[in-house]
Amino acid sequence: MLRQYELVERVKAYDPDANEDLINRAYVYSVKVHGSQQRASGDPYFAHPVEVAGILTRYRLDTATIVTALLHDTVEDTATTIDEIEKGFGGEVAKLVDGVTKLSKIELQSREESQAENFRKFLLAMSADLRVLLVKLADRLHNMRTLKYIASEDKRRRIARETLELYAPLAERIGMRDFQEELQDLAFAELNRDARDSIVRRLEFLAERGGDVVPRIIGTLEELMKAESIEAKISGRKKTPFSIWKKMQQKAVEFEQLSDIMAFRVVVKTVADCYRALGALHSKYRVVPGRFKDYISLPKPNGYRSLHTGVFGPGGHRIEVQIRTEDMHQFAELGLAAHWQYKQHVAAKDTEAYRWLRGLLDILEQGADAEEFLEHTKLEMFQDKAFCFTPHGDLIELPRGATPVDFAYAVHSEIGDHCVGAKINGRMVPLRTTLKNGDQVEIVTSKAQTPSPEWERFVVTGKARARIRRFIRLRQRQEYLDLGQAMLEKAFVARGGAFTGKVVEPVLRQFGQASVEDLVAAVGQGNVSVGDVARAVIPGAETVQAPPKKKKDDAKKPKKDGKDTGAIQLKGLIPGMAVHFAGCCHPLPGERIVGIVTTGKGVTVHTIDCDSLEAFADMPERWIDVAWPEDGDDQTRVGRLHVTVSNEPGALGAITTLIGKYDGNIQNLRFTARTTDFFDMLIDIAVRDVRHLTTIIAALRGQKVVAAVERARS
Ligand code: MN
């Protein structure tokens, strides 16, 4: 336990003007009134408030907060009254102690009252002064550190759950990451001990095998920054078992695949240096796609700023790197606490965290359904929502970025379908306007209106999107019918036949279609392969281009027949080894390729730039050098294009005709997005090699209706 003089010394070290006398008196008072009370651990009770005060000194908090920490349980657990605290320690401390006491009482009631009502009171109680929350968080942190001494498993689990659902998110929201991480990890240890133990064991094993790589990586990064003349302080750490576990859950991956368990921080002088440091990293190391986040240009809702990126760093280790300035770092480390640091009484009312809290309270005070509110706030407290009102005062909860169209659909599907305009707080606004917390929204409807494809570009709720899509689907059916008809006619002619409704009737069932019209639409939409239909009706007669047999299900049945892709002899492979061509990147003869060995399944071939290779980045033993044979074979292979086309009459026909003209055989076609102006689609084309496909791409790019063509890589 921290001794009296040690506590005072710690405070004096960062705040020479601290009221030493007040801290001393609070310490003595706490020891006296808690008397012989004991903690579950068998320690004297007063050790607890002293430890709580000690935790808060790490954040350099002011005298009133430290004194409150020492006294925080006196009113709740001893005969002391708030009046006595006020007489002995002044009004400011009394108010803070009162706030913490109220929070503790709410905790005790939690089983009798509804959790939502409880949460509402909780927010109200801490809103008076956010220092109350800081003390409460430190209180909870110490209680979690000593949780193991509580005998009742039920009680331990209840406290751990509450910590995970309420306190850890609150700590995150006010930017106190250390608190958040420790709270989560302690709760995790209670709630899922086995999972945590296995992660810890695994981390230990990795550390034993590879030695501690963290200092080595720091050294390498330091050299890199030095070479670029960037002054930087670099630190690194392993992530907590809880955050590793969460990542495993989110991505549904095994520990083996999860290699980014180390995070590094680069603290530099200026914002410009942040971006220079980022540039240095990105040019030296391969970037992990999708990991770069610029929270400097676009800070998190809690005010956090930093650059985040992921790279395959020194030694091929996949690492996360955060880059920030000293100021940003200070904020990230201290969060809200930074505002109560000694000599730094920034008006807390101006902070983001305070505004966020006020916003929540306003909503609650306006009578939102507390249960529903809690459901959405508990774990996702921070994905800021927009709470809006109908003219009757009903609360509609929407995700951030929602528009009046989302609002209209949230009220009722019919209102959404027929909305023509919206008033926000009495003023007419465009339908694409982003709604803000507290907006009152009135939707103007017209029976004549129907959903516009345009809306799909700005709505954010699933419900609105689903309704709009449904409507557009109906309207698009006619276009799919036209396209399907054209594709079928062409395919049948190529096989020496002719397409009519009659000839396909016998195969309808085979393709799971109820009518000829359905089949034609399914082909136009890309759900049924035109080649399959043509082959089913006119078997045997292969077309000049000989459509390859390779289909999606080849991966499961690699050696269906001798003509299969498995038969090709790639350079670098032992004859007879099963070969599959990856569906993600569709490798074509003439391209640089690489093989990945999968036990029991042979070799999967990817293009060298395929994103999926990332998953195998740290398994060099599975990589195998392969190359196409020089003389090739006569077979065609499927290349996939991502094409964006103007949404105008005849556009689709023009494209299919052009591809045919260049000897490409459309195997499949699927729309991925469609707006009033453009549609995006994936087209699978059987080609001879990469040059053949490149020729087709060039030809497509020359078409007026084609906005963009790329090889699809996914
Ligand atoms: Mn306590």
Domains in the chain and their CATH numbers?
A: 4-190 (1.10.3210.10), 195-341 (3.30.460.10), 471-537 (no CATH), 579-623 (no CATH), 637-711 (3.30.70.260)
The alpha carbon of 73 and the centre of ligand 1 are apart by a number of angstroms equal to 5
Chunked in runs of 10, what are the mean pLDDT values of the chain (714 residues)? Answer: 90 89 95 90 92 92 93 90 93 90 68 56 68 90 94 90 82 78 93 85 74 83 93 87 78 56 89 91 84 82 81 81 89 64 46 56 50 44 60 73 92 90 85 80 87 86 82 74 81 84 90 90 83 85 45 38 49 73 85 81 83 81 80 77 83 85 85 78 89 89 86 76
Looking at residue 259, its pLDDT comes to 54
The alpha carbon of 72 and the centre of ligand 1 are apart by a number of angstroms equal to 6
Reduced to 3 states (helix: H, G, I; strand: E, B; else coil), residue 488 is helix
The alpha carbon of 371 and the centre of ligand 1 are apart by a number of angstroms equal to 28
Looking at residue 9, its pLDDT comes to 93
Q: Compute the distance between CA of residue 532 and CA of residue 619 in angstroms, rounded to an integer.
A: 38
Q: Say what the alpha-carbon torsion angle 163, 165, 167, 173 is, to the nearest 10 degrees.
A: 150
Looking at residue 548, its pLDDT comes to 43
The answer to whether 214 touches 155, Cβ cutoff 8 Å, is no
Return left, alpha or beta for 458; rule: phi > 0 is left, psi -120 to 50 is alpha, else beta.
alpha
How many residues comprise the chain? 714
3-state SS of 31-83 is HHHHCCCECCCCCECCHHHHHHHHHHHCCCECHHHHHHHHHCCHHHHCCCCHH
The alpha carbon of 48 and the centre of ligand 1 are apart by a number of angstroms equal to 7
The alpha carbon of 123 and the centre of ligand 1 are apart by a number of angstroms equal to 18
Backbone torsions φ then ψ of 233, nearest 5 degrees: -105, 125
| DSSP secondary structure, 212-269, as one string | -HHHHHHHHHHHHHHHTT--EEEEEEEPPHHHHHHHHHHHT--GGG----EEEEEEES
Write the burial class of residue 636 (CB in 10 Å: 0-12 exposed, 13-18 middle, 19+ buried).
Answer: buried
Residue whose entry in the numeric block shows the structure tokens 């196409």:
628
The answer to whether 593 touches 607, Cβ cutoff 8 Å, is yes
User: Which residues are catalytically annotated?
Assistant: 76-77
The answer to whether 85 touches 93, Cβ cutoff 8 Å, is yes
The alpha carbon of 49 and the centre of ligand 1 are apart by a number of angstroms equal to 6
Longest Cα–Cα distance in the chain? 102
